[in-house]
Chains A and B, each alone.
Chain A
Amino acid sequence: MIGFLLSIVAVLVLVGIAVVGVWGLDLRILFGVIVPYAALITFFAGMVYKVLDWSRSPVPFRIPTTCGQEKSLPWIKRNKIDNPASGGAVLLRMALEILTFRSLFRNMKLDYRQGPKIRYSSEKFLWLFAIMFHYAFLVVLIRHARFFLEPVPKLLAALEAVDGFLEFNLAAVGIGLPTVQLSGLVLLGGVSLLLLRRIVIPQVRYISLAADWFPLFLITAIGLTGILMRYVVRVDVVSIKELAMGLATFHPVVPQGVSAWFYVHLFLVCVLFAYFPFSKLMHLGGVFLSPTRNLANNSRSVRHVNPWNYPVKTHDYHEYEDDFREKMIGAGIPVERETAAEEPAAPAAEGKKEE
């Protein structure tokens, strides 16, 4: 509850900072140039640092989670994707994981009734909301490249055309042109549904931390200010692109006539970028590195090496035979030596030699 409220407050404070900074104090260079550069540097440096930090730890054992029949006898039908035996199959498994959220698609819901009678029903909502959210976010992000590229690549214009293919506008509800881009609405819808889910499902609410609420509220605020700028207050996008192009070409400019709404939007985006590498949002990078998904299940046919494998103290056969020699002989179990070694030093030395 505290995490939930504080996250809302935090986002409101961030909005306030931008509003006061730009409207009140007119710090346009700070909010239009310095903060964006600082956020981008933090984002890229943070991403690289975090991923390299993970890669400093080895993967000592080959521990894929296998979700289908392994490759064994040639006549047994194997599951190449969910139990990959080769690098190529791993690529396919990873691609499906990253592009289609395959593991989430498996999700099922517990239905526990007295009796007890336990059933599991298909539960695709989390998958659906996640797909909505992530793909919409991606499209929105790509669409924003039109502000940073001159000339705008044809592909981007095409994406925009597809995204706005319905060619409807919200004039009926008092919102005029331009044409509605679906991705923005889907993004807001997705993030709201994920938020709602986190509030409504008791178990998920129970495990939620401030670090779970904050990004949801932040992204909601980013989406809302973006939609507001496009459809309601309508800002001068030409001067915004001039500002953006100034950043992209390292000749920063702060054109006149840029709405303060834009600075609020930009500031929130900057916060998101700077926060990204140090938060759970790093699942973006982590999903590529997960050892239970990105390894082939071939550890019985191809040796996997642990870089820190070290010798350990074992109880070797000779020590064992020394412990039980007479009993073994009595039971007719073959032994290496009929009697204990004459020089006690020899077996001891042998016993200590591990690995």
Chain B
Amino acid sequence: MAVKTPSPQVVSQIDHHPPRQKWMDTKPEFKPGSYLYGAQPGNLEGVGLPNPREWSPADDDWKLPADWQGTVREGIAERLTRFRSFKLFMDICVRCGACADKCHFFIGTGDPKNMPVLRAELLRSVYRGEFKTAGKILGKLAGGRKLTEDVIKEWFYYFFQCTECRRCSVFCPYGIDTAEVTIIARELLNLLGCNIDWIAGPVNNCFHNGNHLGLQPHTFKENAEFLLDDIEEYVGVRIEPTFNRKGAEILFVTPSGDIFAEPGIFTFMGYLMLFDHIGLDYTWSTYASEGGNFGFFTSHEMMKRLNAKMYAEAKRLGVKWILGGECGHMWRVVHQYMDTMNGPADFLEKPASPITGTVFNNAAATKMVHITEFTADLIKNDKLKLDPSQNDHLTVTFHDSCNTSRGMGLLEEPRYVINNVCNNFVDMAPQATRENTFCCGSGSGLNAGEYLEMRLRGGLPRANAVHRVHEDKGVNMLACVCAIDRAVLPPLMDYWVPGVGVCGVTELVANALVMEGQGPREYNLRGEENLSYKPPADEEAPAEAGEEGAE
């Protein structure tokens, strides 16, 4: 990557005072590290999105389509009639400023346009200037402005500098959700072909190949087989999962990132081990091989187009219900959108755990259960053979994903699971966990390499909360339930809090699982020496027992 990232000392010099110049008179500067690359034409063409072309946000000429202003105006008008949220949020903000210092990008950059209120004003000002009488006549005085090319550039810069984390919405007295505004703004930008390539690429891949990474079916299976080999090597059991198998009871869907790169693959290995341990009748699908949904970061329509695969595949395979892996935005989509968009899933049954018999009434309509709900139920019913001391070398804290926290409310299940598979768990400060959780800094499709500096800035509040428990409580492992987190938290930790690793919750589960017929667990799933491994007593004198006794 050509973009060089400054040191933490430089990056952390942040001034949160707004400049003298009025915000309408300032323009964003497209300098390396602060913006994302524009969508490549092929990725737009592949899914039929408008205005495919070679372009860069750093160019003066963005090659906007003819009558782009009319397109945006119509786009706004249409969305005002479709989304009460959008219409209401354009009208009722009182600019009290309660949201201002809640945004991780504001905290990490000090840029006033990263205050949620001002981010929304970027669009609201055009709404006033183009749709409201007062704004049309009085212009700036009424907080209105016209739609210009500079406005589009500004939108691109700042609406792809919002991770749709909804933290501002928690604090707003009217619940104004900047994520809603950002989602609409990105839809408008997509009407002009102004997406970022890091979103457009995965969308195109997912549409055609079934997953964001573009893994073809045989590659998907091969990757899984590599991981099965690793499990055999480190755990001593051979697992034989199935792919695209008709008649399985359960379809399992998880983000494709977890079959591709560290440390997500260890979570993937965890799933394989867990399901083998309980003898689950399930299948993977190479067609619905993506839990995540970068369509959600493009438009409501694209979200629906990509999400449709899950139900379609569940129907084709004839499964009873769907189990979903660890992912943040995937679960916002599944929880708050899927049934509405692509349901009703009347061809599925109300989910019931085949192991414990527990019926998941909370998923009665959508028919999809979260892996930590499923695992928590297994543990509660004592169906797992666990040795939590295998994680004794870890002091674990948990990063709540934005989407599962503020768009679902999955807070206790992962903690319950972690507490049953680890002996050392501490929470971060309440101001930075649960509904107050901070984004990893790279959510909503912003996890591109060229954007690293901005991601490190956006992730600073999260990292700083980890830093505190790292210093005070000796935390050395940050657990999460999100594939994007697993991809982006390691560089964030290396930058701000060296010495803290990142893992999925199911990786911790797998570490603690006592598999039938397993060999000595001298290595963990990462192939590293298992620091908590204690050889059977008859083989070696209990020399290391002191460590255990201290706990």
Contact = CB atoms under 8 A, between A and B. Distances in A.
A204 B365 contact: no
A328 B85 contact: no
A93 to B, nearest CB: 10
B82 A57 contact: yes
- Chain A CB count within 10 A is highest, among B88, B218, B343, for B88
B7 interface: no
Given A282-B91, A317-B287, A203 B16 contact: yes
Contacts of A290: 85, 88, 92, 174-176
Interface stretch (A18-26, A113-121, A225-233): A113-121
Interface string B312-354: 1100100000000000000000111101110110000000000
A117 B12 CA distance: 9
A314 interface: yes
Chain B interface category by residue count: 35 or more
A201 B85 CA distance: 29
Contact of B88 (A70, A289, A303, A304): A289
Interface stretch (A98-106, A246-254, A257-265, A340-348): A98-106
Nearest to B99: A107
Interface stretch (B30-38, B242-250, B391-399, B503-511): B242-250
A44 interface: no
B88 A324 contact: no
A291 B84 contact: yes
Nearest to B306: A314
B107 A6 contact: no
A270 to B, nearest CB: 19
Contacts of A201: 97
Given A203-B18, A301-B362, A289 B84 contact: yes
Contacts of B308: 312, 314
Interface string A62-97: 110111111111011111001100000000000001
A4 B368 CA distance: 53
A120 B431 contact: yes
Interface stretch (A138-146, A158-166, A177-185, A208-216): A208-216
A58 B84 contact: yes
B166 A126 contact: no
Interface stretch (A30-38, A149-157, A237-245, A292-300): A292-300
B73 to A, nearest CB: 17
B459 to A, nearest CB: 12
Interface string B98-139: 101100000100001001011001000000000000100000
Given A72-B362, A101-B173, A283-B94, A112 B336 contact: no
Given A60-B340, A118-B464, A120-B431, A301 B217 contact: no
Contacts of A126: 96-98
A207 interface: yes
Given A72-B410, A101-B173, A333 B115 contact: no
Given A282-B92, A313-B48, A324-B217, A304 B87 contact: no
Contact of B305 (A68, A69, A312): A312
Interface string A295-328: 0010111111110110011111100110110011
Interface in B133-163: 134, 141-143
A117 B464 contact: yes
Contact of A204 (B95, B246, B413): B95
Nearest to A208: B95
A287 interface: yes
B424 interface: no
B409 A327 contact: no
Contacts of B180: 63, 292
Contact of A303 (B91, B94, B244, B344): B344
Contacts of A107: 98, 171
A103 B170 contact: yes
A323 B208 contact: yes
Interface string B400-419: 00000111111111001000
A300 B409 contact: no
A65 B173 CA distance: 12
Interface stretch (B62-70, B252-260, B373-381, B535-543): B373-381
B210 interface: yes
Nearest to A306: B340
Nearest to B107: A110
A107 to B, nearest CB: 5
A109 B98 CA distance: 9
A25 to B, nearest CB: 28
B94 A333 contact: no
Contacts of A304: 339-340
A20 B15 CA distance: 49
Interface of A: 2-3, 6, 50, 53-63, 65-73, 75-79, 82-83, 97, 101, 103-104, 106-110, 112, 114-118, 120, 126, 130, 201-212, 278, 280, 282-283, 286-287, 289-293, 297, 299-306, 308-309, 312-317, 320-321, 323-324, 327-328, 330-334
Interface of B: 8, 12-14, 16-18, 23, 48, 80-88, 91-98, 100-101, 107, 112, 115, 117-118, 121, 134, 141-143, 166, 169-177, 180, 207-210, 216-218, 221-222, 243-246, 286-287, 300-301, 304-305, 308-309, 312-313, 316, 334-337, 339-341, 343-344, 358, 360-366, 368, 373, 376-377, 380, 405-413, 416, 429, 431-432, 434-435, 460-461, 464-465
Closest 7 CB pairs of A and B: A70-B409, A286-B92, A331-B218, A292-B175, A110-B101, A206-B18, A66-B409
Given A118-B465, A300-B334, 20 more contacts: A59-B83, A60-B340, A65-B170, A65-B407, A70-B409, A103-B171, A203-B115, A206-B112, A207-B121, A208-B95, A210-B141, A292-B169, A300-B366, A302-B365, A313-B305, A314-B305, A314-B308, A317-B312, A330-B218, A333-B244
